[in-house]
Chains A and B, each alone.
Chain A
Amino acid sequence: MAKLKIALYWGASCGGCEIATLAIHEKILKLAEVADIVFWPVGMDFKYSDVENMADNSVDVCLFNGAIRNEENEHMAKLLRAKSKIMIAYGSCAYEGCIPGLSNFYNRQMTFERAYIETPSTENPGKIFPQTKVKVPEGELELPELYDTVKTLAQTVDVDYFVPGCPPEEKTTWLALEALITGKLPPKGTVISHSIKAVCDECPRKKEEKKIKKFYRPYEIIPEPEKCLLEQGLLCYGIATRGGCGALCPQANMPCTGCYGPVEGVIDQGAHFLSALSSIIDSNDPEEIQRIIDDIPDPAGTFYRYSLPDSLLRRARIK
């Protein structure tokens, strides 16, 4: 039986998903028995021109991590989509935009001004910004254009499957790879994880009643080890986050931050968390409610930490 041809590529990413792919440790030998890696810039000697020379649909599966932030990311997403039978959005950046997506609170001009002019260590009297084409004494140099808005992979090309997580935990990665190796693939569009329920389902902490009189910042209190963190007033995102990670953060005494994306069927993770959170505020008095809400310093950044590009509004509007 012919070996599977796998391509791996990164858009605007941190490299964590590359490490996560390899965190399957010994199982990689199992993968190597049945698959050949035909493109992987982080570790293999294939170039962009090699991808261009491939026949369409000659790659069985492409694991694409990273968001779409610049011209090069977009070009490669489209190229790999054409060459691959199956396209997987691997990791939160490709799935929902993740941390690079926070750039959607601002635009390119503001980002450039901060990075290249305002930062206190920068000395740039000429107010130079990087350019897509620059003439140097010897000739011309090019850079890919940086976009104003970060997009997800699915907003750029047709995506077959999603693997959630920042990065996906080892068992989630293996669930996806095993499906590919055995050919037992779920319906198109599936988010591949062990759970369709919220993280709470996996979390060992005791849950009783959720009634919040005050929200706390994590540095303000030392939480009790057994009790639900949300019930103790911490902004634990587990109630609106897909499980499958094993609820690692709450077990390290830190609130979940939502990296596995929305629960099954939810299209705007931030709105979902906002709704659930405000429902458990324990007050009917408008002034008291306002005081409780004031304890949440950054609703948009907290609720859309990983999902701003995938939210209904996509980005902040800038005047």
Chain B
Amino acid sequence: MKKITIDPITRLEGHGKITIFLNDDGSVANTYLQIPELRGFEKFSEGRPAEDMPQITQRICGVCPEAHHMAATKALDELFHVEPTSTAKKLRELLYSAFFVTDHTTHFYILAAPDFVMGPDAPPAERNILGVIAKVGLELGGAVINTRKQNHWIIQTVGGRPIHPCFGLPGGVSRAINEEERAKIEEIAKQSVEFGKLSLKVFDDVVLKNKAYLDMVLSDTFTQKSYNMGLVDKNNKVNFYDGKVRVVGPDGKEFCKYAPREYLEHIAERVEPWTYLKFPYLKKVGWKGFVDGKDSGVYRATPLSRLNAADGMATPLAQEEYERMYSTLGGKPANFTLATHWARLVELLYAAERLLELSRDPEITSPDIRNIPTATPDEGVGIVEAPRGTLTHHYITDEKGVIKKCNLIVGTTNNHAPLFMSIKKAAEDLIKPGVKITEGLLNRIEMAWRPYDPCMSCATHALPGQLPLEVTIYDAQGNEVKKLSQGIS
């Protein structure tokens, strides 16, 4: 069988490759997404002091270290049976909100926007952030850079370091903020809210008012009817830092809602021999293969899933946008993969509004940031929303707080099966017998996985903005018949 290999795929954290097998008539027989690496955190955490876990596990990802740091810190709270102080919780959520602003900004403008601003079939050399800035203006480009820079300042001030923070402890955080810092954070938050509103307007002008794009968003090729997972607060509103995990079916009905410590009753992971990454699925539905629908245990954990799984947003401007999005998409749940980009911007606005709320909280500069644990540690689970999905950390320790067992289900891992399915569907729908395989077509296959923002978003200033793809078609004897490439000079 003819084989097309895309190796490596790029603009995601870590390594990956796609293999497309073609039937003799040129249609797609099957498509495989392989993740070729494993570092082994679940094993080498054994023997480490539990309080080191926020700093050890955050080296799973250098783009979203704050997510691991936070999930680990929350697992420690439970492990040591200690409640963080009220100010500590707020400081944690404040840092977390700033983090979401930077991360979602990076993904939307550098990775996603080029496809829509320049168009999927635009020449690869223009389909990048520089093209975007040229088209929409330097002012917007400057706002993107400035928003990221300022929010990274917040992360360093509250968390200790700009990359790989060090402030999480069971029962609190290591450092309080003073009034001068608080005032600057409030200013940055106000600017970030404006930036959030602006970004949604950009999406409106560029995508929603363009019929071809709107059709693409609503098309069957980019639709997947899977379960949706996200963290919700006690009012069932989206919350990134704390709450219960809620799963809503493709039909919109709540399927389950669980506290972190109950996660094992609901999630199982499957192993395939051709990839190092596992495939989580809903235990109570069961694994039925790489298919969607109510009877398949495959679920998605993305910004869109979070909005689908919740009843609304907890801040007013984001709530308005939430309502507008669903009325445009025809109601809840929205199963359109490309709409994830829109959901991401609604979340960006929410994160900025939440940052502003917390920066104005009277308790936020209090020096009361630590409760000292006194109980013997045993077991703890911490769950937060990473920008690209629900993140679960589970630790068991001995009585001295040294890790005996560690289990991690990481944001993008949740989406491993859905990623596979989205790529496969796009390949099957777009590569048909007789259809010419062009760069634009290859890019449209990429557009199927890009909304998931697979963990590595890259804050470069000089991205050409598209997947380097080299398609080599071999005949049955293994001789090269044709070679196509995009983005390769």
Interface residues of A (CB under 8 A from B): 12-20, 22-23, 25, 28-29, 32, 37, 41-50, 69-70, 72, 98-100, 102-103, 105-106, 110-111, 114-116, 119-124, 128-131, 134, 136-139, 141, 143-144, 146, 166-167, 170, 217-222, 248-249, 251-254, 257, 259, 297-298, 301-302, 305
Contacts and interface: CB of A to CB of B under 8 A. Distances in A.
Contacts of B272: 128, 130
A139 B14 CA distance: 25
B15 interface: yes
A111 B40 contact: yes
A219 B273 contact: no
Interface in B149-176: 149, 152, 156, 159-164, 166-167, 169-171, 174-175
Contact of A72 (B15, B166, B488): B15
Contacts of B46: 105-106, 114
A252 B174 contact: yes
Contacts of A114: 40, 42-43, 46
B458 interface: yes
Given A42-B11, A47-B488, A49-B470, A249 B161 contact: yes
A293 to B, nearest CB: 13
B128 to A, nearest CB: 9
Contacts of B40: 100, 103, 106, 111, 114-115
B145 A25 contact: yes
Interface in B243-269: 263-264, 267-269
Nearest to B13: A15
A58 to B, nearest CB: 14
Contacts of A259: 164
B34 interface: yes
Contacts of B273: 128-131, 134
A62 B13 CA distance: 20
Nearest to B369: A222
A46 B36 contact: no
B62 A19 contact: yes
Interface in B39-54: 39-40, 42-49, 51-52
B170 A102 contact: no
A42 B274 CA distance: 23
B389 interface: no
Nearest to B276: A130
Nearest to A252: B160
Kindly state the interface size class of chain B when it binds its partner: 35 or more
Contacts of A23: 152, 162-163
Interface string B380-400: 000000000000001000001
A219 B11 contact: no
Nearest to A42: B458
A253 B468 contact: no
Contacts of B290: none
A37 B43 contact: no
B462 A249 contact: no
A106 B273 CA distance: 22
A229 to B, nearest CB: 11
A256 to B, nearest CB: 9
B59 A139 contact: no
Contacts of A37: 462
A13 B145 CA distance: 25
Given A15-B14, A146-B276, A119 B163 contact: no
A42 B19 CA distance: 19
Contact of B270 (A72, A123, A138): A123
Nearest to B394: A120
Contacts of A115: 38, 40, 42-43, 278
A252 B159 contact: yes
Nearest to A167: B163
Contacts of A72: 15, 36-37
A298 B46 CA distance: 10
A239 B179 CA distance: 33
> Shortest 6 CB-CB distances between A and B: which pairs?
A16-B62, A45-B487, A252-B160, A45-B468, A138-B21, A111-B40
A44 B394 CA distance: 36
B450 interface: no
26 contacts: A14-B61, A42-B458, A44-B10, A45-B489, A47-B8, A70-B37, A102-B48, A105-B47, A110-B43, A115-B42, A115-B43, A116-B278, A121-B280, A122-B271, A123-B270, A129-B271, A134-B274, A137-B30, A143-B275, A218-B51, A221-B372, A249-B160, A251-B160, A252-B160, A252-B175, A253-B175
B342 to A, nearest CB: 24
Contacts of A301: 47-49, 52
A43 B463 contact: yes
A248 B175 CA distance: 12
Interface stretch (B321-329, B401-409, B415-423, B425-433): B401-409
Contacts of A25: 145, 149
Given A139-B1, A143-B276, A248 B37 contact: no
B464 A298 contact: no
A273 to B, nearest CB: 15
Contacts of B63: 15-16, 18-19
A43 B460 contact: yes
A143 B339 CA distance: 33
Contacts of A110: 43
